[in-house]
Amino acid sequence: MRALDGLMSTESADGQIYNVGSTEVVTIRELAERVLRATVSSSEIAFVPYAEVYGQGIEEMFQRIPSIEKVRSAIGWKPTLGLDEILAEVIELTRQEARRVSA
């Protein structure tokens, strides 16, 4: 995927764990709405209690913002694609795989 091109282009990055992603703030609901628009889906958004999905004792996160400072410091990487572009790529790859499997 283009969003990760060149991520591990240096030996100093070998064996490290990096948080990679957009720094755009988006709620799960907003993400779901964007996916529906991008796929031209008539699906409805279902609100399922967090504990029902993940079990008891898992803290609910209302938004996630990755810190990309470690990867930026290590290899100079920074996001080059916006969330909508990434969604478009993932949707297209998923559709291609579905066509391949059904063929």
Look at the alpha carbons of 57, 59, 60, 64 in this order and tell me if their dihedral is positive or negative: negative
Which residues make beta-bridge pairs with 27? 63
Q: How many residues does the chain have?
A: 103
* Torsional sign, CA 78, 2, 28, 48: negative
pTM to 2 decimals? Answer: 0.68
pLDDT, tens digit only, all 103 positions of the chain: 444 555 445 667 778 888 787 788 888 899 999 999 999 999 999 998 888 888 877 776 666 677 888 888 888 888 888 899 999 999 999 999 999 999 8
The residues that bridge with 63 in the sheet, in sequence order, are: 27
